[in-house]
């Protein structure tokens, strides 16, 4: 019998409970249009979820009485990182951040789903790892109570963090640098296990580089036809893009911008 084409994976994400914004809603709509079943986990019901998106209690995946946040800026991205690795350990979902817009179905024969963000780092905005993955086992071993030296730091920085760990009696994970369990931690774990060999090309999910985020907001700076043929999704780099929109466009994407098309397409 001929081999059948892989079907679109069921995808899931996490939300920390604040009202969903237009980018998050557009992200969900794009996955639904591309034929994905989508589930969003949170610790409280989300009344504004679009029709067709399922809700599940985040306690089922990562029991917690509070959101784990970075001490430096209060970001819930740390909790989202802890959550996504537990999600991949316990379910068959493909993880997607809610600032990822699907261009076409994300369908793969491999359970390893991740892509280079640049020459040296893999991003975790779209992530799948198989059962038994050494990288996943390593990343899922971290908890909100973890202390010590961030695993990815090397050289003089590692000595600095080792000293801080000793002086503090245990440097808590909330005081680790940004990305320690995000792209930096993921890349480190994949390199250790050799699973880095499965990384997809940068154009797969990150065809617009992080430093080029303004192309999403500036009218005429990016069109659908400008994206490479191999692009399956686009990561909007929402943290940077949101600040840029506030500074330049009073928070609203102008007509003629790629983002305007995403939100109103």
254 pLDDT higher than 60: yes
How far, CA to CA in Å, does 169 sit from each of 25, 78, 153, 209, 246?
A: 43, 21, 19, 39, 41
The CA R_g of the chain, rounded to the nearest whole Å, is 19
Mean pLDDT of the chain: 94
Band (157; pLDDT cuts 50, 70, 90): confident
- The H-or-E segment that residue 85 falls in is helix 77-90
Question: What's residue 52's pLDDT?
Answer: 96
3 pLDDT higher than 50: no
Question: What's residue 206's pLDDT?
Answer: 98
Compute the distance between CA of residue 156 and CA of residue 60 in angstroms, rounded to an integer.
40
How large a percentage of the chain has pLDDT more than 90? 82
Question: What's residue 265's pLDDT?
Answer: 74
Question: What's residue 251's pLDDT?
Answer: 94
Question: What's residue 142's pLDDT?
Answer: 96
- Residues whose CB is less than 8 angstroms from the CB of residue 212 and which lie 6 or more positions away in sequence, other chains included: none
- Residues whose CB is less than 8 angstroms from the CB of residue 178 and which lie 6 or more positions away in sequence, other chains included: 70, 72, 75, 77
pLDDT in tens, 205-227: 999 999 999 999 999 999 999 99
The domain locations on the chain are 207-265
5 pLDDT higher than 60: no
Compute the distance between CA of residue 120 and CA of residue 33 in angstroms, rounded to an integer.
32
Band (132; pLDDT cuts 50, 70, 90): very high
Q: Are 17 and 44 in contact (CB under 8 A)?
A: yes
Question: What's residue 154's pLDDT?
Answer: 85
Question: What pTM was estimated for this model as a whole?
Answer: 0.94
Identify any residues that bridge with 101 across adjacent strands, giving them in sequence order: 234
Tell me the average pLDDT across 167-196.
Answer: 93
96 pLDDT higher than 90: yes
Tell me the average pLDDT across 18-33.
Answer: 95
pLDDT in tens, 57-87: 999 999 999 999 998 888 999 999 999 999 9
């Amino acid at each position: 019998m001929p081999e059948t084409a892989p079907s679109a994976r069921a995808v899931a994400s996490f939300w920390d409970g604040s009202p969903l914004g237009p980018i998050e809603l557009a992200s969900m709509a794009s996955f639904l249009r591309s034929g994905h079943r989508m589930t969003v986990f949170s610790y409280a019901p989300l009344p504004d979820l679009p029709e067709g998106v399922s809700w599940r209690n985040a306690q089922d995946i990562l029991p917690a009485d509070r959101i784990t946040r970075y001490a430096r800026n209060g970001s819930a991205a740390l909790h989202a990182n802890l959550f996504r690795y537990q999600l991949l350990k316990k379910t068959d979902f493909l993880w997607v951040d809610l600032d990822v817009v699907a261009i076409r179905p994300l369908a793969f024969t491999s359970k390893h789903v991740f892509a280079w963000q640049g020459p040296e780092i893999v991003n975790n905005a779209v992530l799948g790892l198989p059962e038994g993955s050494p990288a996943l086992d390593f990343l899922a071993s971290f908890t909100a109570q973890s202390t010590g030296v961030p695993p990815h730091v090397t050289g003089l920085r590692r000595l600095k963090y080792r000293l801080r760990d000793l002086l503090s009696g245990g440097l808590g994970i909330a005081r680790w640098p940004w990305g320690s369990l995000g792209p930096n931690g993921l890349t480190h774990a994949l390199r250790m296990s050799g699973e880095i060999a499965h990384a997809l090309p940068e154009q797969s999910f990150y065809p617009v580089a992080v430093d080029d985020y303004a192309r999403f907001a500036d009218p005429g700076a990016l069109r659908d036809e400008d994206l490479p043929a191999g692009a399956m999704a686009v990561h909007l780099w929402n943290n940077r893009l949101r600040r840029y929109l506030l500074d330049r466009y009073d928070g609203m994407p102008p007509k003629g911008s790629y983002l305007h098309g995403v939100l109103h397409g």
